[in-house]
């Protein structure tokens, strides 16, 4: 079975600074996808960034980038130039590439507070 662990329940960062959220996972699969989802207060969860395990290049989406270390089974999210709108709960998630259902396994989440 796959597990996803986020060891930082809460983090805070000053506006315009950079913050890194950590995620580790456990799997015996070789081909899979990893994701970071964002859940703002009282709003729906949205996809932030996606990484295919077979790609060595780290994914980047504007101010969001990941550090994917496959051997270490580590997948951290870096948010640059933090904005107040980045305040949210962030979830790391895993999906087997062979999944026919698209089912995601989520970590426990990290609550990020961006301070003005």
Residue 41 within binding range of another protein, rule CB under 8 A: no
Count interface residues toward another protein (CB under 8 A): 26
* Rounded Cα distance, 94 and 106, in Å: 7
Which segments of 1-116 does DSSP mark as H helices, in order?
Answer: none
> What Rg do the C-alpha atoms of the chain give, in angstroms?
14
Q: Which of 1, 28, 41, 44 binds another protein (CB under 8 A)?
A: 44
In whole angstroms, the minimum distance from the beta carbon of 35 to another protein comes to: 6
Return the SS3 of 53. Answer: coil
Nearest partner of 79 among 34, 13, 2, 24, judged by Cα: 13
Nearest partner of 85 among 53, 48, 32, judged by Cα: 48
Residue 62 within binding range of another protein, rule CB under 8 A: no
12 DSSP β-pair partners = 113
Please identify, using beta-carbon distances, which residue of 14 and 30 lies nearer to another protein: 30
Range 63-82, binding another protein (CB under 8 A)? none
Only one of the segments 40-48, 56-64, 70-78, 79-87 lies at the binding site for another protein (rule: CB under 8 A); that segment is 40-48
In the complex, the residues that contact another protein under the rule CB under 8 A are 4, 6, 9, 33, 35, 42-47, 50, 91, 93, 95, 99-109
């Amino acid at each position: 079975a796959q597990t996803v662990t986020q060891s930082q329940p809460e983090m805070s960062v000053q506006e315009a600074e950079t913050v890194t959220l950590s995620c580790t996972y456990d799997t015996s699969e070789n081909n899979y996808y990893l994701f970071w989802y964002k859940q703002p207060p009282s709003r729906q969860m949205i996809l932030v960034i996606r990484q295919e395990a077979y790609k060595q290049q780290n994914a980047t989406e504007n101010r969001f980038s990941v550090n994917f270390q496959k051997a270490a089974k580590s997948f951290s999210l870096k948010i640059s130039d933090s904005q107040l709108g980045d305040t949210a709960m962030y979830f790391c998630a895993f999906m087997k590439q062979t999944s026919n259902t698209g089912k995601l396994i989520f970590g426990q989440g990290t609550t990020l507070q961006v301070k003005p």
